[in-house]
Chain A
Amino acid sequence: MAPSLTRREALGGAAAAVLLASCGGGDPPPGGAPKPGSGAALFGSLLALQHAAVAAYGACAEVLRGRELAVARAIREQEDAIAGRLAVVLRGLGVAPPAGRTREEYQRTFPRLRSAADALHFADDLEQRQLRAYLEAVAEFPAAGSRATAADIGATQAAHLAAVRLLQGLPAAEGPFVTGAL
Chain B
Amino acid sequence: MAERSDREVLEDLLALESRLVSAYEAALRRDAVERSLGEELLAQEREHVAALLKTLGSGADRNPRATVPSPELTGALGSRAAFARFAERLEANAVTAYAQAAASMRDPRLRQPLGSIMACEAAHRVALRDVLGERPLVV
Give Cα distance in the complex from A155 to B115, angstroms. 8
Contact status B118-A151, CB under 8 Å = yes
Closest chain A CB from B62 CB (angstroms): 16
Contact residue among B40, B99, B113 (Cβ-Cβ distance under 8 Å from A148): B99
> What are 27 pairs between A and B in contact, CB < 8 Å?
A134-B115, A135-B102, A135-B115, A147-B111, A151-B100, A154-B118, A154-B119, A155-B99, A155-B119, A158-B118, A158-B120, A159-B125, A165-B123, A172-B124, A172-B127, A173-B44, A173-B127, A176-B44, A176-B47, A176-B51, A176-B117, A177-B120, A180-B112, A180-B113, A182-B51, A182-B55, A182-B114
Given the known A-B contacts A138-B102, A151-B99, are A159 and B122 also in contact in the complex, defined by CB atoms under 8 Å? yes
The answer to the question of B15 belonging to the interface, with a C-beta cut-off of 8 Å to chain A, is no
Closest chain A CB from B128 CB (angstroms): 9
Contact status A74-B119, CB under 8 Å = no
Contact status B124-A177, CB under 8 Å = no
B 127-139 binary contact with A (CB < 8 Å = 1; else 0): 1001000011111
Residue of A at shortest CB range from B53? A182
Given the known A-B contacts A166-B130, A179-B112, are A159 and B48 also in contact in the complex, defined by CB atoms under 8 Å? no
Give Cα distance in the complex from A157 to B43, angstroms. 23
Closest chain B CB from A168 CB (angstroms): 13
Contact status B123-A172, CB under 8 Å = yes
Contact status A179-B119, CB under 8 Å = yes
Q: Which residues of B contact A (CB under 8 A)?
A: 40, 43-45, 47-48, 51-52, 54-55, 95, 98-100, 102-104, 108, 110-120, 122-127, 130, 135-139
For the complex, would chain A's binding face be called helix, strand, loop or mixed by DSSP majority? helix
Contact residue among A75, A154, A178, A182 (Cβ-Cβ distance under 8 Å from B54): A182
Give Cα distance in the complex from A175 to B119, angstroms. 10
Contact status B112-A139, CB under 8 Å = yes
Interface size in chain A (residues, C-beta < 8 A): 40
Give Cα distance in the complex from A9 to B99, angstroms. 30
Give Cα distance in the complex from A181 to B114, angstroms. 8
Given the known A-B contacts A173-B127, A177-B120, are A182 and B110 also in contact in the complex, defined by CB atoms under 8 Å? yes
Give Cα distance in the complex from A166 to B134, angstroms. 13
Residues of B within 8 A of A166 (CB): 126-127, 130, 136
The answer to the question of A161 belonging to the interface, with a C-beta cut-off of 8 Å to chain B, is yes
Give Cα distance in the complex from A139 to B100, angstroms. 13
Contact residue among A135, A152, A157 (Cβ-Cβ distance under 8 Å from B112): A135
Given the known A-B contacts A154-B99, A176-B44, A176-B47, are A159 and B120 also in contact in the complex, defined by CB atoms under 8 Å? no
Contact status A151-B119, CB under 8 Å = no
Residues of A within 8 A of B111 (CB): 138-139, 147
